[in-house]
Amino acid sequence: MNPDQFLANNSYHKNKWHFKSKLGFYLGYHYEINKLGLVRQARAWGEPAAACYQKNMNDGHCIHVCLDGNFDIERPFPNQVYALRDLLRLLRCRFSIPLDGICFHRQYSNTRCPGKNMDLSFIRSLA
């Protein structure tokens, strides 16, 4: 198990899109949460992301959060869940995001992301 995919994902996204953020990263998400619960910000608020370009959900009005892991075959680690809870509460407060504004990637793109072991109603309940 590699608990931290930030650098690998940043490198992968650099090679795929070469889409550098104001913060100096290439990661296509605003935040990534590793399996130990460490939250890293890769894009500034309001900055476009690489995900969900199919539905114009990457124009800077959305905040994209990624958790390390394959949630078709595993579940998020408890520290990831706690970190996600805290981040969602912060973002909801800061930007007045309604609960139904918390969405999964698969709602906007032809993907399984974040996987069958992630439940949207549970994630919304954290916030």
Range of the domain at 66: 6-126
- Structure confidence at residue 111 (pLDDT): 85
Domain containing residue 92: CATH number: 3.40.80.10
Which DSSP string do the residues of the chain spell out, in sequence order? --S--HHHHHHHHHHHH----TTS---SSSEEE-TT--EEE-S-TT---STTGGGTTTSSSS--EEESS-TTTS---HHHHHHHHHHHHHHHHHHT--GGG---GGGTSSS-TT-TT--HHHHHHH-
* 15 assigned to some structural domain: yes
1 vs 26 pLDDT, higher one = 26
- Structure confidence at residue 66 (pLDDT): 94
Q: One-letter amino acid identity for 77?
A: F
Measured CA to CA in angstroms, residue 7 lies from 80, 110, 121 at distances of 17, 25, 30
Distance (Å, rounded) from C-alpha 34 to C-alpha 68?
5
Report the domain count for the chain: 1
| Partners of 65 in beta bridges | 31
* 1 assigned to some structural domain: no
* 121 assigned to some structural domain: yes
Question: Which of these, 68, 69, 54, 60, lies nearest to 105 by C-alpha position?
Answer: 54
The pLDDT tens digits for 37-84 are 999 999 999 898 876 666 666 666 789 999 999 999 999 999 999 999
Distance (Å, rounded) from C-alpha 111 to C-alpha 91?
24
The pLDDT tens digits for 80-112 are 999 999 999 999 999 999 999 999 988 888 889
pTM over 0.85: yes
Structure tokens at 102: 């918390």
The pLDDT tens digits for 18-45 are 889 999 999 999 999 999 999 999 999 9
* 72 assigned to some structural domain: yes
